[in-house]
Amino acid sequence: MAQVKVGILGAGGIAKVHTGILRRDDRVQIVGVADISADRAHALAGEAGGARPVGSLEELFDLGVDAVYVTTPNTLHVEPVLACLQRNIHVFSEKPMSTSLEGARQIRDAAKVSKAIYNLGMNRRYASVYKRLKELIASSELTPYLAHIKMNRGELLQPEWTANPQVTGGFLYETPFHLIDLCRYLFGEVESVYCQGRQNLSAAELDTFAFVLSFTSGTIANFVTYAHAGWSFPFESVEVYGKYATAATQELEKVMYAPGLKQAAQLHDFFQVPIEEKWGYVEEDRLFIDAILYGSKPPVSAEDGYRSIQLLEAVYESARTGEKIELFKYAE
């Protein structure tokens, strides 16, 4: 394959980010951009340099794409992903994988038999601050006994559909899903979750959550997330506590590591790094194209994505029932 021919389905905000990155990759040619809005498809196709604006996934297939980026709103991921996998067309799906366990299961099963690669866009795993945390934990420099995690959203006003749980799948499937997935990435699989949820400002759903996670590794974590915090800094942070040691992130900008008593703390500040790099998009796109061209492991597989949906659904179940949920009951 000389160049990977990519089609984009859904020409909104995040599609613009991926398009900007893929355009600079000589191994990629963006051949088509599809959107139900002809104006949006035209505008992004213009930015993609020679891509054809079209109205549907079928028209992207007609252009002979090797891979599709699915960048439609949350509840519109499963159907196009399955259509790609059935045709053995590689697919990069934006998060979330699905907004139900059943949808995630269908994708996982389809990915097992497809000759194509499925990759889930969990960019936080490749964000500069979280790569640093992962390194500290993987190298055993920091043993994570306890973690304190916050992932607030400022509003559910932009894009407009984020206020509608019929389109988001529920608030947890919005920004909180990033750090729900990241918890598994950093601390391993979860054994149990106990959540308290409230409906404060949203008309139709729970928008306030506090939960406790117990991991099989022995780590315990508390996680708070609220939908309408007004974007006050820091709205996203992870603190990890080990043996006389602490690592703490502030947004996707800074990470501090205090390695022990009477030692200086180390600060990594990524302020000047371009957003698409420090938020992990550049690396996840590169790894997806590497996987297509060289057969390397895709960044986040369907099995991995499925487990994060299991965890998210367990959080909702605990919030709704008031019960502690043991994750093994979801195992299969």
Ligand X SMILES: NC(=O)c1ccc[n+]([C@@H]2O[C@H](COP(=O)([O-])OP(=O)(O)OC[C@H]3O[C@@H](n4cnc5c(N)ncnc54)[C@H](O)[C@@H]3O)[C@@H](O)[C@H]2O)c1
Nearer to ligand X, 71 or 308 (CB): 71
Nearer to ligand X, 72 or 214 (CB): 72
Residues of this chain, 135-164, that bind ligand X according to CB under 6 A: 159
**Residues with Cβ within 8 Å of residue 229, at least 6 apart in sequence:** 152, 153, 154, 235
Size of residue set near ligand X by CB under 6 A: 22
Residues of this chain, 91-130, that bind ligand X according to CB under 6 A: 94-95, 121, 123
For ligand X, the binding residue among 7, 10, 169, 298 (CB under 6 A) is 10
CB of 122 to ligand X, least distance (A): 7
Residue nearest to ligand X (CB): 12
CB of 230 to ligand X, least distance (A): 19
**Residues with Cβ within 8 Å of residue 152, at least 6 apart in sequence:** 224, 225, 226, 227, 229, 235, 236
Residues of this chain, 20-59, that bind ligand X according to CB under 6 A: 34-37, 40
Q: Strand 254-258 to strand 90-94: parallel, antiparallel, or no bridges (unpaired)?
A: unpaired
For ligand X, the binding residue among 6, 8, 11, 68 (CB under 6 A) is 11
- Whole-angstrom Cα distance, residue 36 to residue 210? 37
For ligand X, the binding residue among 4, 7, 12, 278 (CB under 6 A) is 12
Nearer to ligand X, 19 or 106 (CB): 19
CB of 17 to ligand X, least distance (A): 7
Residue 196 region, left (φ>0) first, then alpha (ψ -120 to 50), else beta?
A: beta
Q: Is 13 in the site for ligand X (CB under 6 A)?
A: yes
Contacting range for ligand X; rule: CB under 6 A; set: 10-18, 189-197, 255-263, 264-272: 10-18
**Residues with Cβ within 8 Å of residue 141, at least 6 apart in sequence:** 135, 245, 259
- Whole-angstrom Cα distance, residue 243 to residue 228? 35
For ligand X, the binding residue among 76, 101, 224, 287 (CB under 6 A) is 76
Chain residues in the site for ligand X (CB under 6 A): 9-15, 34-37, 40, 71-74, 76, 94-95, 121, 123, 159
